[in-house]
Each structure stands twice: as structure tokens, then as C-alpha cells.
Structure 1
């Protein structure tokens, strides 16, 4: 009997977990193969350029999810900006499994990973800032304050993921998301 074929989405989720947990340098081919249920040869068949190509596929997969589930939600003009902000933050919570998952930016921003993914990381962060700046503008914040809120939002999301892991307290991530929502809606920095 032939082994069960690994579904691409499930494979990318598995690869993502290893990269998020171990970082680019720390992720071994053995761990990447084990998480997907594939042998190393099969993994190389799907990703002939090896670990770098796997990491690129993971980054693309997460980027597409963020665009579909966060940026498009924040930009959905059929809903009020308040509802869009709330829904966008809810999807950020999903992206990071309520604070249990590390950010791919962090996983790929060390040593070799940074040299390989610097441009992609920068472009993604610019998109995050742009999306949150726009929602701030729609909530009637002045441009300067809207951009400051957007940058602070990115800092708080990324920082809270690290602190949540370090203190082993996922409530910190939830508290951070609630604080972000209140800051935008109450317009206080």
C-alpha cells in the first residue's frame, strides 16, 4: 500500500510550525521531514532547493493568509472601521494561535534567515503598517497619529509574542490585542 499523500496546506502548516519553533537555522531537515510525514527524498522532490525553498513556501503561505484574513478584513469597506479593526485583531489572534505560536518574522530574522528574507520581512512589515495606518485614518485619527499607532501596533504584537513565550502566559497576548483595540477606538496613545 502506498503512503498517504501529504496535502500541501497541511505540509506548509507543519513546516511553518518547525520554522516558528526552531528558526531558520535551527530547523533540521530531519524535523522538517518528520513533521510532514515525508521522507527527506520526498521533501527534496517537492522542494529541490532544500530548506530555503521550504522557508520561502512557508513565508508565502503565511503572507497569503495574512492578506486574505487580516489586510482584506481591515480594508473591507462594507463594514465600519470599528468592526473591521475588531475582526482584524481577532484574525491576528488566530494567526498566532492566541499567542502560542511565534511569528515567522522572528523565526527568519536571525543570521542566515535575515540575509535570505530581509526584503520579504521588510515588505511585509510595511504592509502591516500601511493596513493599520489606513484603519486609523478611517477612525478619524490624524495621519501622524495614525502612522504612530500602526507602528506601535506592530511593535506590540511582535513584542508580546516574545514576552508571552518567555513568561509562558498567553493572557499577555490577548491583553495586548485588547489594548491595541482600545487605543484605536479611544484614540489615546
Structure 2
């Protein structure tokens, strides 16, 4: 499902924000329309298949962000320490220092369709791949590095959930420290 016409980055950013805060089921067409400043008919112009197609476009955008801002940095030249710091800074910006929800986490528990689910899985796979690469460079055996990467992404997701429930960013900060320890 590709949009009939590509929406502007601002429209995707607005959809991203609504899905991130309200999840797929919680985001009504009225919410999406209000956030984008587009009427329902305009939303359907960009996304003829409706909210499911909007979610897929947002997840494609999330995957692109991970590919450039996380995996791209992990694969770039430079010291391990510098790349880890850049990734932490990027995650701090994305998650507001641990105070903002994760779109991927929200969508993972939603009833999204198959194409959106594939984009979600790819986003997580690429994120884990990036952390695994850093762990291997830090000296971990490949099998351990993969487990570390999966566990670290799960830890971060859990930390964001705890913060949403309690307001405590301590678990988020400790997750960032564990990533920093790779360098």
C-alpha cells in the first residue's frame, strides 16, 4: 500500500506524533485530521486505504530513521565511543531523555495489518542489528552480542513503559549507561 500521492514530511510527522501518543487503536480519524490540518477527504487522498495505510507510512518513516540515525551511525567510520555517543544522543532526542513513548512499542501491541507489521519487524531487526554490531566491536562474541542487542532493545522499551506509568526516567538512564558501557 503506497500513498496515492506522497504526503509532505510535516503530514508524516504529525501522523507519527498521534500514533506515538495514542497508538493505532486510540488514534481516531478526527485526531489524525486535526493533527495534520487536513480534512478527512484530504487524508484519504494521500492514504486511500485509510488509517492502516497511514500506520504503514509512519512505520516506514520510523524504519528510515532507524536505518539512518542508528544503523547508519553504527556502520559509519569513527571510534566505537563516538558512534555510541551519537546513537545515545539520537535516542535521547527521539525519546525526550526517556520521557516520550516509542512509536514501535505502541504499534507492536496494536492490531495493524501485515504490511505495517512487516515494517515494524524490519525496524526492530535493523535496530537490533545496529546494537549487535556495536557489541561485537566492543569484544563480545557474535552470539552473545546478538542476545545483548535484543535484551538491550527490550530493556529500553520496558524503561519507556515504566516511565509512562511512573514518571521515573531512572530505568531509561540505566539502559543508556549499559549502551555507553560498550565503548
Q: Which residue of 1 aligns with 2:145?
A: 146
Q: Which residue of 2 aligns with 1:67?
A: 67
Partner Cα separation in structure 2 for residue 65 and residue 92 of structure 1? 11
Q: Which residue of 2 aligns with 1:11?
A: 11
TM-superposed CA distance for 1:114, in Å, is: 6.4
Q: Is there any run of 5+ residues in structure 1 with no aligned partner, and where?
A: 1-6
Partner Cα separation in structure 2 for residue 119 and residue 48 of structure 1? 20
Q: Which residue of 2 aligns with 1:3?
A: none
TM-superposed CA distance for 1:116, in Å, is: 5.6
Higher relative contact order (CA 8 A, sep 6+): 2
- Structure label with greater radius of gyration: 1
TM-superposed CA distance for 1:121, in Å, is: 2.3
Q: Which residue of 2 aligns with 1:82?
A: 81
- The 1:168/1:179 distance shift into structure 2, 3 A limit, reads same
TM-superposed CA distance for 1:154, in Å, is: 0.6
CA contact (8 A) 2:24 2:106 kept: yes
CA contact (8 A) 1:108 1:114 kept: no
What TM-score, normalized to structure 1?
0.85
Q: Is there any run of 5+ residues in structure 2 with no aligned partner, and where?
A: 1-6
TM-superposed CA distance for 1:66, in Å, is: 1.5
Match status 1:93 vs 2:53: no
Partner Cα separation in structure 2 for residue 114 and residue 90 of structure 1? 32
Q: How does 1:8-157 map to 2 (within 5 A)?
A: 8-77=8-77, 79-113=78-112, 117-157=116-156
Q: Which moved more, 1:28-37 or 1:83-92?
A: 83-92
- The 1:114/1:100 distance shift into structure 2, 3 A limit, reads farther
- Residues 49-77 of structure 1: CA deviation (Å, up to 9, x unaligned): 11011111111111111211111111112
What TM-score, normalized to structure 2?
0.87
Q: Which moved more, 1:63-72 or 1:163-172?
A: 163-172
TM-superposed CA distance for 1:158, in Å, is: 0.7
CA contact (8 A) 2:66 2:127 kept: no
- Residues 113-162 of structure 1: CA deviation (Å, up to 9, x unaligned): 26563332222222222111111111122223212221121111111110
Partner Cα separation in structure 2 for residue 64 and residue 136 of structure 1? 22
Partner Cα separation in structure 2 for residue 11 and residue 123 of structure 1? 23
